Structure 1
Amino acid sequence: MSTVIQVGLVGFGLSGRYFHAPFLSVNPRFRLKKIASSRPEAVRQFDASVEWVATADELFDDPSIDLVFICSPNETHTDYARKGLEKGKHVVVEKPFALSEREAAQVLALAQRQGLLVTAYQNRRWDSDFLTVKRLLAGGALGKLVEYENRYDRFSPVDPATRSWKEQPGPGRGSLYNLGPHLIDQALHLFGKPDTVQASVRIIRPHSQVTDYFDIRLGYTDKVVRLKSSLMAYQNQLRYCLHGTEGSFTKGGLDVQEEQLRVDRLPNESGWGTEPPDRWGTLYQAGRAEPVESERGNYSPFYDNLYDALVNGAEPAVTPTDIQQLACIIDLVLASNETQRVMPVS
């Protein structure tokens, strides 16, 4: 593999167009060579020098491609990841990595047999708010943490005319697979494997055909961890609420990077990922409430680590253990919802 990694994207919707292509285009160690998409006009509009093909198989058959990003609908992730690995490509899979722990384990085992890297894209580890939470916890600002609640809400009523695949029923559809991996991964990254999982997954929007609400409780012996999401939250500001023996921290608003990407700003521009003060969180200690300046959000370290893993053999930021553990938790969320029981984590 050359020192400039040749990259292909499968899919050029929100993920491929706005979350991956901009970061790849400004990183000199990657070259975005080819995109498989049903939207050739969008590819040409982004960068006319990038080759367009109509199918993923055409991209996988290109021997010059070193690395493939899978940014297609959820139910295709496992199949495309397998095909990429079988064609000798390293693979990055958008969330959800797979629709079950069994599928995730199969893909991870195939990558190991092929001597290739496969990892999951977990960009929300580099969100401004999450980096700020990590900093506060590492510095002991809250004392011993006793309660952690993380929400990812939207107000997204069903449009009867929508043709989006995300609103169509089928395997891997709904908020648990769309927003759930972000919240679950962040909790596992902070606290490790829980002892138990208890969850409710529901449809709450009128006319919705996919689940659009979840409430997940991860059981730890020393803290309460709750992850929630609703697509019917008109007031959707609250993101984090943490309580500890020495203080509390609350934080609203979403990381600014997605907003910046959607208006075609690039990650190498000044001011990238910097939150305005009205999104800063508040730390409550000893009767005082003080604003906490947010860390700068930046997804670029994911790509820097990816390059280091491919070229220098570094450990990927999102490890096989991370991937399989998250898939296991989603399996247990579904089982808990179906049985209305608290599920032990083995």
Structure 2
Amino acid sequence: MGIRTGLIGYGLSGSVFHAPLIAAEEGLQLTGVVTSQTDKVREDYENVDVYEDVEALLGSGVEMVVVASPNTLHYEHAKSAILAGKHVVVEKPFTNTVREAEELIQLARDKGVLLSVFHNRRWDNDFLTVRQVLDSGTIGRISVYEAHYDRYSPEVEVETRWRDQPLPGSGILYDLGAHLIDQAVQVLGSPDSIWADLRLDREEAETVDYFHLVLAYPQSRAILRAGTLVRQAGPRFMVHGDLGSYIKYGLDPQEDQLKAGLRPGDADWGADKEECYGELTTAVGDLTMRTKIDTLPGSYQEYYRGIAEAISGGGKPPVRAEEALEVIRLIEAAHRSARERRVIDLSSVPGEAAQID
């Protein structure tokens, strides 16, 4: 029997990401879900109980709660679970404000429970490979780290998609931006300043659907961008250093694999297409060398494996809440930069900067 786990929400993130990955981890046991989609849960997991409200789930004997409700409810649901003495995983973004994130972190410390945030794209196959290339030293000192999420989604769906509605935590910066910022901070640490261009690019857009961020470091820059009107995607990653460059096209397949019903351990789980392997360009003497780098397999399952091990063994979670707080701090600073049309010196921005190991 694994750690009894309850899930709040059975929309896209709950049903596609969290429930399958929890069920695939031997150290966890999915025992209950809060949702109105009773039939869907029972079709997917016949032995899992369905609850109409959060209070009923919290009283059911679960030891850990995963918050996969809409962004407007992350803080409320996480706080209720922490106060009930449960370990908590929150779907990204952690919260909508730094103040909320700081409060939850302190509450978790006071109650002695684990608090983590589902920044699963640390385990994307492309990002794992970027880190491997950087660790090898073949690029040298990073000059420019650039990462994109290029998508073509010209239709605004305000009536059916809460992420397109003008609500706290909506828009592409809180969605894809949270992933890009988290990845950049994992590679380069907390930046000294940030500049942001945020736009409502589509004609009927009511939330940010395009962003371009520049995170400044003493000797390097991170350029992060995502948009909804990119019919032909460019490189996913471009990393340039004083010894070489690495350029990678294509997206990690795990989201599509989960949607198709595949699970960790299935054939080709997290595997990249050979034609999407990144290219490393370096020099050997006077010769320029270009080498295809095999993409490491993606491994979202490592997140919940790490959660189970942290709870059972008392170690650190795979994503610390303080790291997720730093992402929210940078998102808030990006909004301020766009609003005031200037670079924001992050030394003057409140919030507990993450200590990246």
- % identical equivalent positions: 35
Aligned to 1:193: 190
Amino acid at match of 1:204: D
Which 4+ residue blocks in structure 1 deviate beyond 3 angstroms? 159-162
Match of 1:205, SS state, is coil
Moved more, 130-139 or 260-269: 260-269
Q: Is the 8 A contact 1:155 1:231 kept in 2?
A: yes
Gaps of at least 5 residues in structure 2 are 348-357
2:69: which partner in 1?
A: 72
In the TM superposition, what are the counterparts of 1:164-313 in structure 2 within 5 Å? Answer: 164-286=161-283, 287-313=288-314
The TM-score, its normalising length taken from structure 2, stands at 0.93
Q: Partners of 1:340 and 1:294 in 2: how far apart?
A: 39
**2:323, 2:158 → 1: CA distance?**
38
What CA distance in whole angstroms lies between the structure 2 residues aligned with 1:189 and 1:207?
Answer: 35
Aligned to 1:87: 84
- Secondary structure of 1:52's aligned partner: strand
**Which segment drifts farther, 154-163 or 104-113?**
154-163
After TM superposition, give the deviation of residue 162 of structure 1 in Å: 4.6
Amino acid at match of 2:328: A
Amino acid at match of 1:28: E
Which one-letter code corresponds to 2:38 in the other structure? Answer: P
Q: Counterpart of 1:338?
A: 339
Q: Distance in 1 between matches of 2:267 and 2:151?
A: 29
Superposed CA RMSD = 1.3
Structure 2 residue identity aligned to 1:219 = A
- CA drift of 1:161 comes to 7.6
Per the alignment, residue 315 of structure 1 pairs with 316
Aligned AA (2:235): L
2:125 match? 128
Map of 2:100 onto structure 1? 103
Shift of 1:160: 5.4
Contact 1:158 1:206 in 2 (8 A): no
Return the alpha-carbon distance in structure 1 between the equivalents of residues 41 and 210 of structure 2.
33
Cα distance in 1 for partners of 2:230, 2:329 equals 28
In 2, Cα distance between the equivalents of 1:49 and 1:88?
A: 25
Letter in 2 for 1:269: D
Per the TM alignment, residue 121 of structure 1 is displaced from its structure 2 partner at its CA by: 0.6
Distance 1:320 1:118 in 2: 6
**Which residue of 1 is the match for residue 15 of structure 2?**
17
CA 1:66/1:249 → structure 2, altered by over 3 Å: closer, same or farther?
same
- Partner-residue secondary structure (3-state), 2:197: strand
Deviation at 1:94, TM superposition (A): 0.4
1:50-99 deviation digits (Å, cap 9, x = unpaired):
1111222221222x100011001111000000011111111100011011
Compute the displacement of 1:291 (Å).
1.4
Match of 1:327 in 2: 328
- Relative to structure 1, the CA distance from residue 160 to residue 36 in structure 2 (aligned partners, 3 Å threshold; closer, same or farther) is closer
Q: Which residue number corresponds to residue 34 of structure 2?
A: 36
Structure 1, unpaired ranges of 5+: none
**Secondary structure of the structure 1 residue equivalent to 2:237:** strand
Q: Deviations over 1:257-314 (max 9, x none)?
A: 1111010011121321111102211112233332111011001111111112111111
TM-score of the two chains, using structure 1 as the length reference: 0.96
- What is residue 355 of structure 2 aligned with on the other side? none
More off after superposition, 16-25 vs 101-110? 16-25
- Report the CA distance shift for 1:155/1:162 in structure 2 as closer, same or farther (over 3 A): farther
**SS at 1:290's partner residue?**
strand
Paired letter, 1:38: S
Matching residue of 1:57: 55
